[in-house]
């Protein structure tokens, strides 16, 4: 397991990222003392965080900036709480054949998609904000997305629903 503590700043070169394959990650920032993960060079993108495998991972109190994919989960599971994912090039959060729980998260200013669920993805989004993205949320085929108390505003497109999925909204 990789553990990052509150207040840590990690800078990634273009084309690099954090790949968690079969293991787990715990990034434990705190309110007012966040872990920051960003590009080492202004105007350049790093790959982001990729989680695969059966072990559940956790990211808390973390600001993820300027990545191709802020977080990508494939055949894995991840809990994300109290953080910001901003200025991702392709998607702030991308999930395929995995599960992600987002709580108290802001996904903002992503150039393509804020949150993208596809191919058997399960995403629960609670008390979060999707704002300033090209597309706030993509619910692809065979995915399940549950929005609870989530604000979707100031995006060019709110929700793209490809059908053949489960998309629920409560107090959103």
Q: Read off the pLDDT of residues 13-61 as tens digits, 9 standing for 90 and up.
A: 999 999 999 989 999 999 889 999 999 999 999 999 999 998 999 999 9
Structural element, H or E, at residue 107: strand 99-108
pTM of the model as a whole: 0.96
Instruction: List C-alpha distances in Å: 107 to 86, 134, 164.
Output: 6, 11, 25
Which residues are paired to 81 by β-bridges? 60, 103
């Amino acid at each position: 397991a990789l553990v990052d503590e509150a207040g840590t700043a990690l800078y990634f070169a273009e084309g690099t990222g954090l790949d968690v394959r079969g293991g787990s990650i715990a990034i434990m920032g705190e309110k007012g003392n966040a872990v920051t993960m960003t590009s080492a060079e202004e105007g350049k993108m790093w790959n982001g965080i990729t989680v695969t495998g059966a072990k559940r991972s956790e990211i808390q109190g973390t600001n993820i900036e300027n990545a191709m994919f802020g977080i990508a989960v494939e055949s894995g599971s991840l809990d994300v709480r109290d953080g910001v994912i901003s200025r991702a090039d392709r998607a702030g959060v991308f999930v395929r054949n995995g599960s992600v729980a987002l709580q108290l998260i802001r996904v903002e200013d992503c150039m393509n998609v804020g949150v993208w669920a596809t191919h058997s993805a399960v995403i629960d989004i609670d008390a979060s904000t999707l704002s300033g993205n090209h597309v706030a949320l993509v619910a692809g085929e065979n995915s399940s997305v549950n929005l609870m108390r989530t604000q979707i505003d100031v995006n060019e497109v709110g929700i793209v629903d490809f059908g053949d999925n489960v998309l629920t909204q409560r107090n959103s």
